[in-house]
Structure 1
């Protein structure tokens, strides 16, 4: 089984070179992040990743425009900026939950065109507020487009459906069959991120996520394909914090490294 592990740049407050040094020392294979448009800033990032022998997963999350024409134009602009860096893949928070099916499918088609043009896989994240915000909605898009591949961040669906998805087995199974990339954040029925996955009170929730991820890992092992995983526990307000002081309850970095080591051991990658 070939699994690559990526650290999220989201939440990093250290100088980028220091961050990359820590990422490499922790045992990650690369970093998942967005890239600036400024060519000098962008090249400095790419040179720093290369200096630490770290791969790049490009990340698009800037889906803000309500007008679909403006949205599609900016979508292509951001994707082309990421494509130029030749990442392992591009993970997109594509579309909006309030776009109709035709509007979101227009974006999927544009991404497929750019992927074919560049040879870089472009996949679409299951994320609240975006096109694939809910399991039953994602199922419709996946059924209508056999080529659609996803980044499964199933923590969002736990929050959206306010459950561990026991009543949506077909929807989850289809999503698992189309997953190329995992965000290994652990969500729960009342939110997209538990305060600490190491805590015993979250054992049932953690085991549900591990079961979903196990099925994805098994499919990739069977198919001889590479699975990528980003340990994407985020900073506040994803990370619960103390009132008034706003101090995080736990270290985002420590939790993410814990998740990587847990999954490396589980899948025989250590």
Structure 2
């Protein structure tokens, strides 16, 4: 199974887009994951960027996060419109931050069904990111949705679950492994029990935390290979402030965001050992 690595635009929004694309290519990424601050329409600038990505021979993941309104019918209307727009740009797939953590189970499930309907009739794959503030904010609540919708596809950003639990999920291992088969995308940011992002993945004091995340990611990849996937997408998602810790007073980042993502990409490639069968 081939690993496909995507670079996030997050943190590099102000960089000249041509320069960013060249940097992505030079660093050996297969594509870009990008959200569009689009309201309920796509601007010529959005469409131009998509064209640039594709013209450069890169793939792209369309990211949805904007729908946050409180009225359930309006929420469903808006998320449908945004997902339809993103699907029309023919991304590799859509990664969606879906629902709200304080919506009822029934309301979040109806929103998920709305999203899945869009995926079905557009033919564009959709994954739901495990994310604070969304229906998937914690492992135990997410499992309830998987029990109701066993084919639900997830993007594993496990740093969020560590934050919510205040642990490295040591006491939830069985639940995690039950859900790993539903994970079709990885955001390979390393979090810890008190935050969504460690200060520097190369620092020796974080070695055991990094190793734990690597073990989770390897298990997800094994499950993907077992279900017959030919490739698997990974977005290296170490981000800027406030995810990136800053030095007090100077506000200097404690590590280089781009270099952190290059490092974690290489670490995954070195660590991943495809399952072989005789």
- Please indicate the TM-score interval, normalised by the length of the shorter structure: over 0.9
Counterpart-to-counterpart distance in 2, 1:38 and 1:67: 23
Counterpart-to-counterpart distance in 1, 2:134 and 2:67: 8
Counterpart-to-counterpart distance in 1, 2:250 and 2:177: 42
Q: TM-score, normalised by structure 1?
A: 0.96
Residues 45-83 of structure 1, C-alpha deviations (whole Å, 9 max, x = no match): 012102221101010111321111221111112111110
Residues 79-98 of structure 1, C-alpha deviations (whole Å, 9 max, x = no match): 11110111111011100000
Contact 1:60/1:79, CA 8 A, preserved across alignment: yes
Q: Which moved more, 1:215-224 or 1:147-156?
A: 215-224
Displacement after TM superposition at 1:119 (Å): 0.9
Counterpart-to-counterpart distance in 2, 1:177 and 1:192: 23
RMSD: 1.3
Gaps of 5+ in 1: none
Contact 1:2/1:221, CA 8 A, preserved across alignment: no
Match of residue 230 from structure 1: 235
Displacement after TM superposition at 1:268 (Å): 6.3
Match of residue 9 from structure 1: 9
Q: TM-score, normalised by structure 2?
A: 0.93
Match of residue 179 from structure 1: 183
Match of residue 62 from structure 1: 66
Q: Which moved more, 1:46-55 or 1:91-100?
A: 46-55
Gaps of 5+ in 2: none
Matches within 5 A, 1:1-270: 1-12=1-12, 13-35=14-36, 36=38, 37-225=41-229, 226-267=231-272
Contact 2:42/2:85, CA 8 A, preserved across alignment: no
SS at match of 1:151: strand
Displacement after TM superposition at 1:140 (Å): 0.5
Counterpart-to-counterpart distance in 2, 1:196 and 1:6: 20
Displacement after TM superposition at 1:114 (Å): 0.6
Displacement after TM superposition at 1:222 (Å): 2.4
SS at match of 1:14: coil
Residues 217-251 of structure 1, C-alpha deviations (whole Å, 9 max, x = no match): 11222233021100001100000001222211111
